[in-house]
């Protein structure tokens, strides 16, 4: 019997969690999360972790299972996620995967890409230039050397940009040229569902979500994490802006507006990333759930 990984993608705040639970309940299966920030148990409010009611409605994996103090890479996630899928498929023909982290989705669906070994001197030079000239150096150089990857990279994430820049400089080739080359064999058939909406509606939902996070205690959560602001996991929208507020650089009101603005930018990059995959079937976020279920069932019956 064929195995199916029903994958739900789309921009932040579009309703992926509620759809994933509806599908998991319909197909009587479990959920794998591939949101790269919901892995961390210290980050709850700011990463929109599913509520206790949502977690109880369907069995979830890779939610708050790591600590911000662990060095957890997309390669680590790929290995753990594939092992978990192998386990789940022993007893079920379906698993739902949900998340907005495009790199992590691709790692599970296609396999993690092979990159050339980069001389440590290149890595040291990139890091030194970043420490000296700031994130603008990374953005400027990466846009020049790999405009294709620059379009979709998280431009506020120095670690990710440094890694891409190391590869560009060390190999003499764009980082993007190494992406999606390796096609690992998978023991499942992917069915990819995308949720979308008009941009104004996505932005409204993001603004409302940020206000809700503030009301639910994001300020206190960020204050607790402030001593660890230099960790890789902390280079996350919703926390970085509040860290600037704690340091007296900006007002709280401005920090909240920056969170909204940077989250809207993130959502735009998510859509750019996910729209590249022609195998994705897109639905409006208000589409009737039964219509989506019928589409999936049709694919299963005819495959």
Specify the pTM.
0.81
Cβ neighbourhood burial of 244 (10 Å; 0-12, 13-18, 19+): middle
For residue 189, report the phi and psi dihedrals to the nearest 5 degrees.
-100, 120
10 annotated as a binding-site residue = yes
Residue 172 among known ligand-binding residues: no
Cα angle vertex 45, ends 19, 228, to 5°?
135
Region 235-244: mean pLDDT is 96
Q: What are the residues facing 97 on neighbouring strands?
A: 7, 32
Q: Annotation-wise, does 16 bind a ligand?
A: yes
**Percentage with pLDDT > 70 across the chain:** 97
131 Cβ contact list (under 8 Å, min separation 6): none
Computed on alpha carbons and rounded to an integer, the radius of gyration of the chain in Å comes to 20
User: Is 15 part of any known ligand binding site?
Assistant: yes
CATH class as words, domain 120-178? mainly alpha
What would the pLDDT profile of 74-123 be if each residue is shown by its tens digit? 889 999 999 999 999 999 999 999 999 998 999 999 886 677 778 888 88
- pLDDT digit string, tens, across residues 166-213: 999 988 989 988 876 656 678 999 999 999 999 999 999 999 999 999
191 appears as a binding residue in the annotation: no
Domain boundary assignment for the chain: 4-113+181-302, 120-178
Known binding residue 134? Answer is: no
**What is the pLDDT of the chain when averaged over all its residues?**
93
In terms of Cβ atoms closer than 10 Å to its own Cβ (0-12, 13-18, 19+), residue 62 is buried
**Is 297 among the annotated ligand-binding positions?**
no
Fold of 4-113+181-302: Rossmann fold (3.40.50)
Q: How confident is the model at residue 51 (pLDDT cuts 50, 70, 90)?
A: very high
């Amino acid at each position: 019997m064929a195995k199916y990984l029903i994958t739900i993608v789309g921009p932040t705040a579009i309703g992926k969690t509620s759809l994933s639970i509806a599908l998991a309940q319909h197909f009587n299966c479990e959920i794998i999360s591939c949101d790269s920030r919901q892995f961390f148990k210290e980050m709850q409010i700011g990463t929109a972790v599913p509520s206790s009611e949502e977690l109880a409605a369907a069995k979830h994996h890779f939610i708050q299972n790591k600590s911000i103090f662990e060095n957890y890479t997309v390669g680590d996630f790929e290995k753990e996620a594939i092992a978990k899928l192998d386990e789940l498929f022993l007893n079920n023909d379906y698993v739902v995967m949900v998340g907005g982290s495009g790199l992590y989705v691709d790692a599970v669906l296609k396999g993690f890409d092979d990159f050339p070994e980069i001389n440590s001197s290149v890595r040291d030079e990139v890091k030194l230039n970043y420490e000296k000239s700031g994130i603008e150096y990374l953005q400027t150089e990466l846009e020049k050397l790999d405009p294709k990857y620059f379009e979709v990279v998280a431009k506020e994430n120095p670690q990710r940009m440094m890694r891409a820049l190391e590869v560009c400089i060390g190999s003499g080739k764009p980082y993007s040229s190494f992406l999606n080359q390796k096609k690992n064999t998978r023991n499942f058939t992917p069915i990819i569902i995308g949720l979308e909406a008009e941009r104004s509606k996505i932005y409204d939902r993001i603004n409302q979500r940020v206000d809700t996070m503030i009301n639910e205690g994001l300020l206190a959560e960020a204050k607790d994490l402030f001593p660890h602001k230099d960790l890789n996991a902390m280079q996350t929208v919703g926390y970085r802006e509040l860290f600037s507020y704690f340091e007296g650089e900006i007002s709280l009101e401005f920090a909240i507006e920056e969170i909204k603005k940077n989250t809207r930018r993130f959502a735009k990059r998510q859509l750019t990333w996910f729209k590249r995959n022609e195998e994705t079937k897109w639905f409006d976020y208000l589409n009737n759930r039964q219509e989506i279920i019928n589409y999936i069932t049709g694919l299963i019956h005819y495959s």
